Amino acid sequence: MSGHAASAARFAADEERAHWHDQALWAVRAKRDAQAAAIPEWEELRETAAAIKAHTLSRLADYLEEFERNARANGVEVHWARDGEEHNAIVHRILADRGVTRLVKSKSMLTEECHLNPYLIERGIEVVDTDLGERIVQLAGLPPSHIVMPAIHMKREEIGALFHDKIGTEEGASDPAYLAEAARGHLRAKFMAAQAGLTGVNFAVAESGGVVVCTNEGNADMGTSLPPIHIACMGVEKLVPRSRDLGVFLRLLARSATGQPVTSYTTHFHGPIRGGELHFVIVDNGRSAILGQETFRRSLSCIRCGACMNTCPVFRRSGGYSYGYTVPGPIGSLLAPQRDPRAYGSLPFASSLCGSCSDVCPVKIDLHHELYMFRQELVARRVVPWRKRFAMKVTGLVLGRSWSYRLAGKLMRAVVPRLPRFLVYGPWNPWGRARELPPMPRKSFRDLLREEPS
Amino acid sequence: MPKVALFVPCYVDQFYPRVGLATLRVLRKLGLDVEFPAAQTCCGQPMANSGCAADARPLAERFLAIFGGYDHVVAPSGSCVSMVRNHYGQWLEGKPGFDHLRTSTFELCEYLVDVAKVARVDGEFRRRVGLHMSCHGLRELRLARSSETMVAPFDKVRRLLAQLRGIELVELSRPDECCGFGGTFAVNEAAISSLMGRDRIADHERAGAEVIAGFDVSCLMHLEGLLRRAGKPLAVMHVAEILEPARLS
């Protein structure tokens, strides 16, 4: 056992914790259901969002150029990055050229994907994540375990202990209101001292050249209105053609993500603040390769709401870290192996293919079907271990002929009940670790059929 | 009268023969001309589920050759029917007879409701029943509204069972969460798979179910395996077994 199965088993071994994690995320799913149910045209919104994204991706280059033109006309400096390395270098150069040594960030999964924080810190820049959940995991020295709720895996007592250690809260204090207030005070000082602010982007609008950032804590707004320099980093897939398209996506995003009708703050950036600078860094980092292949390009429609994680029965019981990738859960299991099939080859198998992710997805990515199809990619590229491929070859051959199928069934039903238990339920039988084998009746259906009057 | 082929999935044939018999009897009681093509084996899902397309494909081709000549194909499994309807296209698209096969292969409950137009179920089943809505029947065949989708409620399985006298369909706290079977997932990710199954069982227990009923024996096999290991008294039954004594019209 390796890859996701192994790390998931470790997480689930603490069953109480796995259940706690499951319940916490299920509660978010339930809030999402209530919000979605309150919108009579919910399914129509999903259809529309999927269509807008499919259209945008079909002429992405044109829309990107339109966006760039309009952004420049608004006084924004636009930068293009081929990959994470280039992205990090661009951000660093902007900061270094201006003598910035203190940066505040709001949540950006793209910068997590590019590993921007360590890059900047190594080069002498203080980087402070200002989203509460992000700050918690940053103080703990961990990556986010969930793209919307980065510290969802931590209990409040653990956060209390961490804050006591790192920002001097009272020992043993775990009241969420107290801890949040302490974090506010701690972050306020960082905001006041910051020389530049960096944000992610939820949506970029081609026709206006503006970007939209959604937060619940107003931290993106603090971080972009106090210091004079704002850098917004976005993947190429964040684009929508028109401002009116936001009327579709903003209604879907918060409802799907956290079960709120809308995020507390939805900020539109159309140009630099007076006397300041606004930079957009547009990043590919493997996205156009995904766009180039037909079966899996729809994964680029993702608006990073995290609903597929909250609903995924596997994610809820295995935790975000079990995926080992910046974006975990069903969508991450599709994105990660496209980036590196060998490193993330176990992820498409980390799904029971129940399809809840596909039904919950606000942009209707057929996630479970794509995971199913991606397994074929992994077999074709021989990423799946040969033993598994061999076992399936043999199974296919046995099941492919009536006589061998009947013989195998008969042998199994005759032999297994006669074997001593330790032989049947040895370590070579993963089914039997927690489950009994099915009954082994003397007669199969086709045997019984001969006795059935027709 | 339509000529109906009964497709009994491999593991049902071998391990749960009574489910195959119950399905056959339910269909015959409707006066249908039902045949069991003896050459049938497996739909290929274990291989396809593992990504081994080259090993699954011959089974899909075989399935078409065996079942292509019937008016209808009916199976007591949502998952295997979904395999034919939603996944065979990759290999069989454009092959003669495939369009017909795809649109005329049915899971038992949808066949009863949509094709045989069964409106009345006259019978009794005096037990408290928890319905297990297996994922592929639910979300790939749309046997009922899934809890994620915001469309008008419907449920072809409940519609049949609810008419039985004395049956009490209990309300689960999570009406359609996956049980964790997931085909090869059950052995690839045995720890998570079993935890999911135990959680599902706990939900049925809290709701007071005596029987977990479903339309996919694969999920029931997984749940039964967990129940028997834990020595729990809950029973699992396929919908066909519950409907078998009833009169359908």
Residues 216-245 of A with CB under 8 A from B: none
How long a stretch of residues is chain B? 249
Backbone angles phi, psi at B202, to 5 degrees: -60, -40
Query: Are A395 and B51 an interchain contact pair (Cβ–Cβ within 8 Å)?
Result: no
Partner residue opposite A43 with nearest CB, options B13, B44, B150: B150
pLDDT of A209-259, one tens digit each? 999 999 999 999 999 999 999 999 999 999 999 999 999 999 999 999 999
pLDDT of A125-169, one tens digit each? 999 999 999 999 999 999 999 999 999 999 999 999 999 999 999
Please tell me the distance in Å from B103's CA to the nearest CA on chain A. 19
Rounded mean pLDDT, A386-412:
97
pLDDT of B200-241, one tens digit each? 999 999 999 999 999 999 999 999 999 999 999 999 999 999
What does the pLDDT read at residue A55?
A: 98
As a dihedral over the C-alpha atoms of residue A146, residue A152, residue A158, residue A164, rounded to 10 degrees, the angle is: 80
Strand arrangement of the beta sheet that strand B235-238 belongs to: B168-169, B128-132, B211-214, B235-238
pLDDT of B83-131, one tens digit each? 999 999 999 999 999 999 999 999 999 999 999 999 999 999 999 999 9
Query: Are B11 and A8 an interchain contact pair (Cβ–Cβ within 8 Å)?
Result: no
By C-alpha distance, the chain A residue nearest B189 is A5
Q: For the stretch B154-164, what's the b/e string if a residue is b when 16 or more beta carbons lie within 10 angstroms of its beta carbon?
A: ebbbbbbbebb
Contacts of A122 (CB under 8 A, 6+ apart): none
pLDDT of A16-34, one tens digit each? 999 999 999 999 999 999 9
> Do A3-11+289-380 and A39-285 come out as alike in CATH topology?
no
Complex ipTM: 0.97
Residues 285-344 of A with CB under 8 A from B: 311, 313-314, 317-318
Q: Is the pLDDT of residue A278 over 90?
A: yes
Rounded mean pLDDT, A409-428:
96
Q: Is A321 helix (H, G, I), strand (E, B) or coil?
A: helix
Q: Is the pLDDT of residue A454 over 80?
A: no
State how far the Cα of A3 lies from the Cα of B179, in Å rounded to an integer: 22
Reading the block at residue A103, the tokens are: 């940066």
pLDDT of A300-330, one tens digit each? 999 999 999 999 999 999 999 999 999 999 9
What does the pLDDT read at residue B122?
A: 98
Task: Give the start-to-end residue ranges of the domains of chain B.
Answer: 3-115, 121-248
Q: Is the pLDDT of residue A295 over 90?
A: no
Please tell me the distance in Å from A440's CA to the nearest CA on chain B. 6
Q: What percent of chain B has pLDDT over 90?
A: 100
Of A46, A62, A47, the residue nearest A207 (C-alpha):
A62
Residues 201-220 of B with CB under 8 A from A: none
Rounded mean pLDDT, A50-63:
97
DSSP code of residue B112: I
Residue A202 pLDDT level (bands cut at 50, 70, 90):
very high
DSSP code of residue A433: G
- Looking at the domain that runs over A3-11+289-380, which CATH code has it been given? 1.10.1060
Residue whose pair of structure tokens reads 């390395």 in the numeric block: A85
Please tell me the distance in Å from A448's CA to the nearest CA on chain B. 7
State how far the Cα of B204 lies from the Cα of B129, in Å rounded to an integer: 9
- For residue A454, the surrounding DSSP H or E stretch is none
Mean pLDDT, rounded, of chain A: 97
Q: Is the pLDDT of residue A1 over 70?
A: no
CATH class for the region spanning B121-248: alpha beta
Q: Is A418 helix (H, G, I), strand (E, B) or coil?
A: helix
What one-character-per-residue DSSP string does B144-205 give? B--TTS-S---BHHHHHHTTSBT-EEPPPSSTT---S-TTTHHHHTHHHHHHHHHHHHHHHH
Residues 355-414 of A with CB under 8 A from B: 355-356, 358-360, 368-369, 372, 374-380, 384, 388-389, 392-393, 395-397, 399-402, 405, 409, 412-413
Residue A338 pLDDT level (bands cut at 50, 70, 90):
very high
CA A142 centroid distance within chain: 16
Query: Are B41 and A399 an interchain contact pair (Cβ–Cβ within 8 Å)?
Result: yes
Domain topology for A39-285 = Rossmann fold (3.40.50)
State how far the Cα of A211 lies from the Cα of A271, in Å rounded to an integer: 9
Query: Are A438 and B196 an interchain contact pair (Cβ–Cβ within 8 Å)?
Result: no
Residues 63-102 of B with CB under 8 A from A: 86-87
Reading the block at residue A8, the tokens are: 């998931």
Query: Are B17 and A441 an interchain contact pair (Cβ–Cβ within 8 Å)?
Result: yes
What one-character-per-residue DSSP string does A102-150 give? EEEE---HHHHHHTHHHHHHHTT-EEEE-SHHHHHHHHTT---SSSSST
